[in-house]
Amino acid sequence: LKPLFLNQTQNMTRFSVYRGTFVHSTWETPLQILEDALLGVDEGGKIAFIGEGKDIKQLSQKFGFNLSEVIQLAQHEFFMPGMVDTHIHASQYSYAGTALDLPLLQWLNTYTFPVEAQFDNLEFARKVYTQVVKRTLRNGTTTACYFATIHTDASLLLGQLANDFGQRALVGKVCMDVNDCVKNYRETSKDSEEETGRFIKELLKKEYPLVRPVVTPRFAVTCTEPLLKQLAAIARNNSVHIQSHISENVDEVELVKKLFPDSTSYTDVYHKCNLLTNKTVMAHGCHLSDKELAVFRETGTSLAHCPNSNLSLCSGLLDVRNVLKHKVKVGLGTDVAGGYSASMIDAVRRTLDTSKILSIQNPNYETLTFEEVFRLATLGGSQALSLDEQTGNFQVGKHFDALRVNVAVPEGPIDLIQPEEPKILLEKFLNLGDDRNIVEVFVAGRKVVPFTD
């Protein structure tokens, strides 16, 4: 490992320096293991240098840190990049783990819309949003792409809470001008457009360093074509991200065909409305055709793979291998509460499960490896959200978004019988571990877990 570093003068910057095992992904290899490595984080939370432990004296002289200040990881510990949840409904967290007995469209009308309508109450919103931000951070989600509700003030509150707890987040005020099932949970097209503009303006005015707005048409079923086009224009004019849903289940796809008869596909609906961009992430995509995936590739649009939700609501199986073959950007999402777990470790496991189900159906199918899924949960997710220049792996110049993992934490879920190499420790953590193994969480160099008063 050759020493890498930024151009820093010895006396200008104070560094936090860590020594031990680091595991991460690059585009060349899904799993790279750096043993006895030194990593320095500057005052701005960026990785300033990466080197080998044997070069500690040379690096200490260059960067001006004291050897006694180096933080040494224990034998069964390693650092990994923070995980990226590319699709989560913060407003649905209160009933996560329940209400999974219906297919998507009935599920929305029976459970989701009535609960989301309650977020005009800011006290209720604060209670739910505080819990979901804390829960996801404890489980190692350093970056989250959130759906909120149609309520602007509650959505702004979610942005504030993410900032206060130190999570990197994209926050979206949901837009929907069609909803005949829960009549008190819908907007007029004019209100949706105006409130989206207000949401973006007020959130940007806060100048939170790690929280940004994302334009959020819920999906084509609940939005008229004029609103979809207006939202695309708002996103373009403000240079912000876009998120929505696409091709989650068969009934939804058929309904979209009826609602938009002039479009050739679900993807075509969004494409005609200018919503597919290199800063757009679409959730699910279980039933996208190869032709539609080609449009995703051409426009730079990403997919958020949400396997727990896809299985829990019996929506379908996304063929991630085929998505990657089409060179479409893809990350993982929990999709709370269609997905019952807010943990990205669960998303990793369900992604592997889905891939194995596909291989059972087709013996010639190339199953995803755990190393590939590890990359999807970290670097892949950051790329899907167009944040890979800032986070996703341990690269000089990127923010230090990281999890300190202790596989042998006392009273934890993993029993180590004998000494194991780092690759095995990572595999055990991904298959057996939980939040107890995540002893510290860093976002942009700041320790955000354990929480402080």
Which CATH number is 16-81+393-449's, of 2.30.40.10, 2.40.50.140, 2.40.40.20, 3.50.30.10?
A: 2.30.40.10
Note the pLDDT tens digit of each residue in 383-411. Answer: 999 999 999 999 999 999 999 999 999 99
- How many other CB atoms sit within 10 Å of the CB of residue 126? 15
Q: Which helix (H) or strand (E) holds 214?
A: strand 211-217
Q: Which fold has domain 83-385?
A: TIM Barrel (3.20.20)
DSSP 8-class letter at 369: P
> Which residues of the chain register pLDDT less than 50?
7-12
CA distance linking residue 396 with residue 12, whole number of Å? 18
How would DSSP label each residue in 396-448?
Answer: TTSB--EEEEETT-TT-S----S---HHHHHHHHHHH--GGGEEEEEETTEEE
CA distance linking residue 443 with residue 219, whole number of Å? 31
| pLDDT score at 52 | 97
- What residues does 85 pair with on adjacent strands? 144
Q: Which helix (H) or strand (E) holds 241?
A: strand 241-246
Domain layout of the chain by residue ranges: 16-81+393-449, 83-385
Closest CA to 318 of 343, 294, 283: 283
Joined together, the tokens standing for residue 25 give: 């992904």
How far CA 7 is from CA of 43, 63, 187, in Å, comes to 14, 10, 52
CA distance linking residue 246 with residue 353, whole number of Å? 22
Cβ(162)–Cβ(133) below 8 Å: yes
| pLDDT score at 7 | 47
For the chain, give the mean pLDDT.
96
Joined together, the tokens standing for residue 406 give: 């202790």
Cβ(71)–Cβ(53) below 8 Å: no
Cβ(90)–Cβ(149) below 8 Å: no
Note the pLDDT tens digit of each residue in 101-150. Answer: 999 999 999 999 999 999 999 999 999 999 999 999 999 999 999 999 99
